[in-house]
Structure 1
């Protein structure tokens, strides 16, 4: 670590997480204990595949029993389309005695549960206790931000400290039914979180960046082991905890996107139906090299992650950042996750549309037109190489 990335000041303001449970069968052991009361009804939000093709949802329903199971909505699709979320809201808001929402799955059900809690509050004057049981490494359970995909393909967000899950259950057995390619791609998404935190100006050194560095190292070490044996529950649990470390300590300082890889990912994800794990596979390796080219401070932050990948620093931050980018791209290939926008059916004539979406939400004002133009040109070159 060089002096350029050592902290000089910082603040850490955590979300309202009450407990994080991790280990074998923690759902069976502790789920009923976190319900608000002995008579609480909990509403389950999940996806169709989990409900129809795995025993997981029934497992939770049976655990809740008639005393606590207050309904299940199992039609949340990738990127949480507004039509499905609206139907879930109608179902939930017709059950005013509900006190908790249990999200089971990846980022889409977890995000949908945040929106449901917000709408339940508007209808009934109180938020729901959000209990998250993740089955991927997306780390959506780590934030108070939820996204719903509108009819034009663009996401609309909600946020609020009351929406973040109060209880998280990392139970490796729940990931045994996740397709390995999905689980690994969301692992790259977690690495995207951890790496972009290194140059996010709102991220405090302790605990945010320091723990995120450990998360990068753990993800890099364990993802190939998971590829070789996706039934190893010890490895799965280690990856779950790394995913939490990649984003779970950012807390209330998080505002908008983490960084350029995420903003490009949002521009690619819901508009073209590309999973966010795959968008990170596409963008992250290229973005970290570009960030280093554009800003010496960012170069120092990226280069500071090189030891996480088992490599020594050379003293040339830009060169070291290129190595980081190359290592990430190679990891994506080694995991069998390499793809292109063309393979996902994105037409080449969408290049400028993608750049507009990626840069529009955070571009500076007219007084920085020259810098904006240079950044846009660099992003355009980056996106062009993804086809």
Structure 2
């Protein structure tokens, strides 16, 4: 009999699957009794399509305002600006429509509203950090009163997680903020909202979801439930991503990708820690401004190869879900077939950057939970050299 495990639930109450976003948001606002709904939207969706206007119209008098200025990786200054606008609008429900950065920012805005965070330094006591002994320190604080609803247009999966990331521009580090009530009260999976997402962003964040599932299946801290969900996530994504690339209007294929991304996040939310691919991705994003999805496109197969000497048996399930053979080679083939970058050099990282990158990685919460132990920055540099 395997060791016991605990599955931790978030505070998300509903997922609308395949429902039109405007309809689902209006319904959720009614359910929540919200009268001041503040939208945080992708700038492209807000200014180049009528999708946000449709949502505002469906909300009617409940629509209290719209923010569309969130840069990639959710810098603190932009999060605080959005929070100030939501505060001024007397928001009682936050709705994000867009990719991972706007999703993360919306969840952190709920924290800013609860604790009246207005300046860069106000946010400092609330983020997770790695202590001197390598253990992750999770600050304790009261959760938000104002909840969020998330309508994702990419596949990074953060909408299913209470954990959110924002970048400290001064320290040049992406940092995590977490409380179970920061998880959205509802998620809307509307594939029609994703057709405006640039192909590279849709596909690369799909690889990010693949990476969630692959690091779950590679982890010695997973369990049969999480392994099963992760394996199915891989199968859905391995089918759906090529379908979406072949036909961007294939909404069934896109919904399959969305379901796969959701499944890939269930183990993460349940407490299965990720490994060196995700740790490197956080540092590449926060310190080197590499897009979320591209970080996994580059690092995931190298992480599989790096870890194979210790978790090769577990990697067999990954290989089987991706079509057979060796796991790292199968992942590489799928990612290359999607036209994604596959080396650090392709995303602008040089060998001279590796020491700084390694130092940033050593601050990440998931470096020490990699299957193959990593104790020092030199260990990280050795891994990174395989991806040049």
TM-score tier by shorter-chain length is 0.7 to 0.9
Which of 7, 15, 34 is equivalent to 1:12? 7
8 Å contact kept, 1:137–1:243? yes
The residue that corresponds to 1:41 in the other structure is: 36
Distance, in Å, in 1 between the alignment partners of 2:241 and 2:108 is 31
The residue that corresponds to 1:269 in the other structure is: 285
Change (3 A) 1:341 1:372: closer
SS in structure 1 at match of 2:362: helix
Distance, in Å, in 1 between the alignment partners of 2:380 and 2:292 is 18
The residue that corresponds to 1:200 in the other structure is: 219
Equivalent residue runs for 1:126-275 within 5 Å? 126-151=144-169, 152-206=171-225, 208-253=226-271, 258-275=274-291
Distance, in Å, in 2 between the alignment partners of 1:273 and 1:361 is 16
| Range with bigger deviation, 346-355 or 141-150 | 346-355
Distance, in Å, in 2 between the alignment partners of 1:377 and 1:39 is 52
| TM-score normalised over the length of structure 2 | 0.86
Change (3 A) 1:250 1:378: closer
Deviations 1:141-172 (A, max 9, x none): 11101111111321122100000011011001
Deviations 1:8-47 (A, max 9, x none): 422212111211111152x233322212545521111123
SS in structure 2 at match of 1:103: strand
SS in structure 1 at match of 2:218: coil
Query: Offset of 1:249 from its aligned partner?
Result: 4.8
| TM-score normalised over the length of structure 1 | 0.86
Change (3 A) 1:38 1:379: closer
Change (3 A) 1:22 1:37: closer
CA RMSD, Structure 1 to Structure 2 (Å):
2.2
Change (3 A) 1:212 1:39: closer
8 Å contact kept, 1:153–1:271? yes
8 Å contact kept, 1:10–1:205? no
Alignment partner of 1:90 is 2:84: yes
Equivalent residue runs for 1:338-377 within 5 Å? 338-361=341-364, 372=374, 376-377=377-378
Distance, in Å, in 2 between the alignment partners of 1:54 and 1:383 is 40
8 Å contact kept, 2:299–2:342? no
Query: Offset of 1:330 from its aligned partner?
Result: 1.4
Change (3 A) 1:120 1:202: farther
8 Å contact kept, 2:190–2:255? yes
Q: Which runs of 5+ in 2 are unaligned?
A: 118-141
8 Å contact kept, 2:148–2:182? yes
The residue that corresponds to 2:24 in the other structure is: 30
Q: Which runs of 5+ in 1 are unaligned?
A: 1-5, 312-319, 365-370
8 Å contact kept, 1:47–1:76? yes
Query: Offset of 1:348 from its aligned partner?
Result: 2.6
8 Å contact kept, 1:139–1:248? no
The residue that corresponds to 2:64 in the other structure is: 70
8 Å contact kept, 1:110–1:140? yes
Change (3 A) 1:272 1:202: same
Aligned residues: 356
The residue that corresponds to 1:306 in the other structure is: 319
Distance, in Å, in 2 between the alignment partners of 1:39 and 1:273 is 36
The residue that corresponds to 2:139 in the other structure is: none
Distance, in Å, in 2 between the alignment partners of 1:17 and 1:204 is 22
Alignment partner of 1:120 is 2:120: no
SS in structure 1 at match of 2:150: strand
